[in-house]
């Protein structure tokens, strides 16, 4: 039973460890009814410490034996508590031997050592190792690990751990063992073990220094044909990190294992990355382009952690963004280099503005370096990851590429083998560049999304143009007042003829990075021949909400002429937002909806613009999402948002049918292509975007096209897009038929089935709760599998805005039921799933009260996990 309120841990209370573990040898004896874990640790008291007793972390462990320097301790010498083992009066230096018994087959939390299908695997970050054995489970305790695994030879022919394999052999009773040695000292969160009957696909990568490294991907035998793409992405990542950051791999072998039951995407364990199957397995006819791009990014992300995270790790979990923000930034640069920088930026900003800004404005809002937490698993957030990456990106912008690279070299070299803080990272950047980054560091400790208001004034007589900036930041939990941020704002000034003013500040170029530091500041531009149109925050140079009072004409001008592709796209988004927001108001007022013909014309000219890059066109045509409209609303009216947006889609489809069909036909060959080049993917994205738009106003021709694409497509992108279009056309018979045919074809492919579930649970065609409940009753649904939970329950609650926000409150009650059921099984997943209910402030009074009722109902559950309890407590109206 937990305390009434879990304990809060504060960054300000950090103290270095009192003991060090120089070396640890682990022996795992794996059986069907449990596992015996024996550890031998070389422990010494830190020179700065006079602590007499040693407190080790441990949860749900059965202690079998405990020895110091070979002598068994008697029960008076130590105390076992639910979350710790304390040994009194230990010597300065000693060998501790500890034997524990654990039950991986009963572990449904998927933290520590657990079984996924028939294999054993681990997940230790952040605090899972303490569920394996007693240890100093904190990232600043780094040790050299030796691991011996013993198991049945027939059931578990493959036995893996970190580092290099050093020994193996047969044991009695049909068992065998393998021993691994990892020469790099590491915190225990990077420990990993895998045992199973697995297929291995191998390859070799030649390092820049010439030394070869073996690459091995281990998967279930049935997935033997789904390894090629990840292997290719891995080789490209290794080469890119050598070239871009000068980082080479450091062991003889790099292994990736795919597991079906996994709480998140993947884990960067030293030399032995463990992946959620859906983030690594791919094959041509079964994987969509989006999944390929995600796999490429995640393989790269985990690999890049080998330096940003493993060789240089975090001192404590408050520093999580040190490794995550930096690594997300690195993987986004990689994806930009592999595909298209412009498109990648648009996608990243879209995610940030839709979901991270919402997090910043919600009850769990925290800075990228939180000051406190109750359960660290709740802080693997978009803020720490995505906003963290934006902060690193701003450093790159402020320093320039050359100094940024010097800074990262200094950081890696100076702190190799250490557990450090975000201060150390910024210090390296400051040192190589000579830049004063003291004010910049506020980005790490102040939460919330800053708002920048910009005004302009042009003096015709003086030929002078003035931009005035004003910054502020809303209060967030625990932080009422914020100091001004150091904000890089990239600016260009466009003239009416479509040219750019060469800015004196910009070394002759058209774009200049203005550094806003004060609450209010102005910039004066001289010799400005005519009134310019400012292009502000180019490339989204800082994670802020920027307001400037553009006229519609100015936005249209920027959409047509801005040399910055991001701002071009953003101008189009702003125009579309205006149209959508005014339709939302009309819908609420019960007025008839009409679409401004100027908007249809803008859309038409985009469709007809042959000079536009196809990938960019796909992005420019995209309407702001429902989620973004919710985020921007003071009080979000989900029905009005849904209907206004559908109205725009339907009207565009009807008014521009000829142009849309023409573009659809001209991109149709994509349906038969297995080409994974970015150009081919962009063509498919465009093709399928059109199909999805036509589904908003389906006529016979639409059904003919969609069915034809569904029947004949040879790649999953086109085939799945046809399925989605048929499902979303709100024609139950067509949807049902396509879904059952798709199921018959793909039922044995777990990754495809996740998508089959999600396309239904997120669709407004199935807003009725009974459909989602039926999906949960489907033979392929499992409550213990996080991917299935996410694709059915998660997709319904986060994406099906009509269904989840039904005025009866049935969606809220449904989610509460699922959280109550999941909390005992898998607290991390339960806590994540809770997010939509915590955002009650966004909705009308009736819905607020219905949501609060459900939060209170969950809070009343006994034995609530720390994870769910923290989120609930912070979200309750009484706590805000």
Q: Which residue ranges make up the site for Zn ion (CB under 5 A)?
A: 324, 327
Element (H, E) at 66: strand 62-68
Query: Which partner, Zn ion, ligand B3K, none, binds residue 380 by CB below 5 to 8 Å per kind?
Result: ligand B3K
Q: Whose Cβ is closer to ligand B3K: residue 178's or residue 266's?
A: 266
Measured in whole angstroms, the distance separating CA 373 from the mean position of its chain's CA atoms is: 20
Dist. CA 234–CA 216, nearest whole Å: 10
DSSP string, 753-772: HHHHHHHHHT-GGG-SHHHH
Contact status, residue 476 vs residue 365, Cβ threshold 8 Å:
yes
Q: Whose Cβ is closer to Zn ion: residue 288's or residue 381's?
A: 381
- Pairing between strand 253-259 and 212-219? parallel
Q: Whose Cβ is closer to ligand B3K: residue 184's or residue 301's?
A: 301
Q: Whose Cβ is closer to Zn ion: residue 140's or residue 268's?
A: 268
Query: Which partner, Zn ion, ligand B3K, none, binds residue 184 by CB below 5 to 8 Å per kind?
Result: none
Q: CB 305 → Zn ion: shortest distance, Å? A: 6
Cα-Cα-Cα-Cα torsion 714, 719, 721, 724, nearest 10 degrees, comes to 180
Query: Which partner, Zn ion, ligand B3K, none, binds residue 308 by CB below 5 to 8 Å per kind?
Result: none
Q: CB 812 → ligand B3K: shortest distance, Å? A: 26
244 backbone dihedrals φ, ψ, rounded to 5°? -80, -40
Contact status, residue 180 vs residue 144, Cβ threshold 8 Å:
no
Residue whose beta carbon is closest to ligand B3K: 125
121, burial (CB in 10 Å: exposed 0-12, middle 13-18, buried 19+):
buried
Q: Whose Cβ is closer to ligand B3K: residue 317's or residue 440's?
A: 317
Query: Which partner, Zn ion, ligand B3K, none, binds residue 125 by CB below 5 to 8 Å per kind?
Result: ligand B3K
Q: Whose Cβ is closer to ligand B3K: residue 287's or residue 377's?
A: 377
Dist. CA 798–CA 790, nearest whole Å: 10
Q: Whose Cβ is closer to ligand B3K: residue 182's or residue 302's?
A: 302
First to last CA, the chain: 27
Strand ranges (E), 124-198: 143-152, 158-161, 164-171, 175-186, 193-196
Query: Which partner, Zn ion, ligand B3K, none, binds residue 264 by CB below 5 to 8 Å per kind?
Result: ligand B3K
Contact status, residue 230 vs residue 224, Cβ threshold 8 Å:
no
Q: CB 802 → ligand B3K: shortest distance, Å? A: 32
Q: CB 372 → ligand B3K: shortest distance, Å? A: 18
Contact status, residue 299 vs residue 260, Cβ threshold 8 Å:
no
Beta bridge partners of 200: 218
Q: Which of 125, 268, 302, 870 is catalytic?
A: 302
Q: What are the tokens at 395? A: 């450093």
Name the residues that contact ligand B3K, by CB under 6 A: 125-126, 264, 266-268, 301-302, 305, 324, 377, 380
Query: Which partner, ligand B3K, Zn ion, none, binds residue 687 by CB below 5 to 8 Å per kind?
Result: none
Distances (CA, A) of 610 to 372, 605, 606, 666: 53, 10, 8, 12
Q: Whose Cβ is closer to Zn ion: residue 302's or residue 562's?
A: 302
Dist. CA 799–CA 810, nearest whole Å: 16
Query: Which partner, ligand B3K, Zn ion, none, binds residue 629 by CB below 5 to 8 Å per kind?
Result: none
Query: Which partner, ligand B3K, Zn ion, none, binds residue 126 by CB below 5 to 8 Å per kind?
Result: ligand B3K
CB contact set of 818 (below 8 Å; sequence gap of 6+): 789, 793, 833
Q: For residue 201, is it left (φ>0), alpha (ψ between -120 and 50) or beta?
A: beta
Q: CB 296 → ligand B3K: shortest distance, Å? A: 14
302 is catalytic: yes
* Catalytic (active-site) positions: 302
């Amino acid at each position: 039973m937990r305390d009434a309120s879990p304990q809060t841990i504060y960054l300000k209370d950090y103290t270095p460890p009192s003991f060090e573990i120089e070396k640890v040898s682990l022996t795992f004896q794996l059986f069907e009814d449990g596992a015996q874990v024996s550890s031998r640790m070389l422990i010494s008291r830190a020179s700065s410490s006079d602590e007499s007793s040693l407190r080790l972390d441990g949860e749900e462990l059965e202690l079998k034996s405990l020895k110091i320097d070979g002598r068994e301790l008697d029960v008076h010498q130590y105390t076992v508590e639910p979350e710790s083992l304390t040994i009194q009066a230990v010597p300065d230096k000693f060998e501790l031997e500890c034997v524990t018994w654990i039950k991986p087959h009963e572990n449904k939390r998927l933290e520590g050592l657990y079984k996924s299908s028939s294999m054993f695997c681990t997940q230790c970050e952040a605090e899972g190792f303490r569920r394996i054995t007693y240890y100093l489970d904190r990232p600043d305790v780094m040790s050299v690990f030796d691991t011996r695994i013993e198991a049945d030879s027939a059931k578990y022919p493959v036995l893996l751990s970190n580092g290099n394999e050093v020994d193996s052999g047969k044991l009695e009773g049909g068992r065998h063992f393998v021993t691994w040695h990892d020469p790099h000292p590491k915190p225990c969160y990077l420990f990993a073990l895998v045992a199973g009957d697995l297929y291995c696909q191998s390859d070799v990568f030649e390092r820049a220094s010439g030394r070869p490294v073996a690459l091995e991907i281990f998967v279930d035998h049935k997935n033997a044909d789904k390894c090629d793409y990840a292997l290719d992405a891995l080789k490209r990542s290794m080469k890119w990190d050598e070239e871009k950051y000068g980082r080479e791999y450091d062991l003889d072998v790099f292994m990736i294992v795919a597991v079906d039951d996994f709480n998140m995407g993947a884990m960067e364990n030293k030399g032995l990355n463990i992946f959620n199957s859906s983030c690594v397995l791919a094959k041509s006819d079964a994987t969509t382009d989006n999944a390929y791009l995600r796999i490429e990014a995640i393989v790269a992300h985990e690999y890049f952690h080998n330096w940003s995270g493993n060789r240089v790790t975090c001192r404590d979990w408050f520093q999580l963004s040190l490794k995550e923000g930096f690594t997300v930034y690195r993987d986004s640069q990689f994806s930009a280099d592999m595909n298209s920088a412009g498109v990648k930026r648009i996608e990243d900003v879209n995610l940030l503005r839709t979901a991270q800004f919402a997090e910043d404005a919600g009850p769990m809002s925290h800075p990228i370096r939180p000051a406190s937490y109750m359960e660290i698993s709740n802080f693997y957030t978009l803020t720490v990851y995505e906003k963290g990456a934006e902060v690193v990106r701003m450093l790159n912008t402020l320093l320039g590429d050359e100094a940024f690279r010097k800074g990262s070299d200094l950081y890696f070299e100076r702190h190799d083998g250490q557990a450090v803080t975000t201060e150390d990272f910024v210090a390296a950047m400051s040192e190589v560049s000579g830049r004063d980054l003291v004010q910049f560091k506020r980005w790490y400790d102040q939460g919330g999304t800053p708002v920048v208001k910009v005004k302009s004034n042009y003096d015709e007589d003086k030929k002078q143009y003035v931009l005035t900036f004003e910054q502020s930041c809303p209060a967030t939990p625990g932080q009422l007042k914020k100091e001004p941020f150091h904000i890089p704002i990239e600016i260009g000034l466009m003239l009416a003829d479509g040219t750019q003013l060469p800015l004196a500040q910009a070394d002759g170029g058209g774009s200049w990075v203005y550094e806003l530091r004060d609450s209010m500041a102005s910039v004066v531009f001289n010799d400005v021949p005519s009134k310019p149109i400012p292009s502000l925050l180019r490339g989204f140079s800082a994670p802020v909400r920027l307001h400037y009072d553009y006229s519609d004409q100015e936005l249209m001008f920027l959409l047509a002429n801005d040399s910055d592709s991001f701002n071009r796209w953003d101008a189009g988004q702003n125009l579309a937002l205006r149209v959508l927001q005014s339709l939302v108001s009309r819908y609420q007022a019960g007025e008839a909806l009409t679409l401004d013909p100027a908007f249809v014309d803008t859309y038409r000219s985009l469709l007809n613009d042959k000079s536009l890059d196809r990938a960019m066109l796909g992005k420019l045509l995209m309407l702001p999402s429902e989620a973004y409209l919710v985020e921007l609303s003071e009080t979000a009216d989900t029905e009005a948002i849904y209907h206004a947006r559908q109205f725009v889609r339907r009207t565009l489809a009807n008014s521009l049918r000829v142009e849309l069909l023409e573009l659809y036909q001209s991109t149709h060959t994509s349906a038969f292509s297995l080409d994974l080049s970015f150009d081919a993917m962009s063509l498919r994205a465009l093709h399928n975007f059109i199909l999805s738009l036509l589904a908003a106003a389906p006529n016979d021709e639409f059904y003919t096209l969609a069915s034809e694409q569904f029947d004949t497509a040879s790649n999953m992108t086109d085939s799945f897009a046809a399925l989605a279009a048929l499902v979303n056309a709100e024609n139950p018979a067509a949807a049902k038929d396509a879904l059952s045919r798709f199921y018959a074809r793909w039922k044995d492919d777990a990754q495809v089935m996740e998508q089959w579930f999600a396309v239904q649970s997120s669709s407004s065609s199935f807003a009725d709760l009974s459909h989602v409940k039926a999906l949960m009753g489907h033979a392929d649904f499992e409550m213990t599998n996080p991917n299935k939970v996410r694709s059915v329950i998660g997709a319904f609650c986060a994406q099906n805005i009509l269904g989840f926000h039904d005025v009866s409150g049935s969606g809220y009650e449904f989610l509460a039921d699922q959280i109550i059921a999941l909390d005992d099984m898998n607290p991390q997943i339960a806590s994540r799933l809770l997010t939509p209910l915590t955002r009650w402030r966004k909705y009308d009074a009736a819905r607020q009260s219905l949501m609060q009722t459900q939060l209170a109902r969950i809070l009343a559950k006994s034995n609530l996990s720390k994870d769910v309890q923290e989120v609930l407590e912070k979200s309750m109206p009484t706590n805000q």
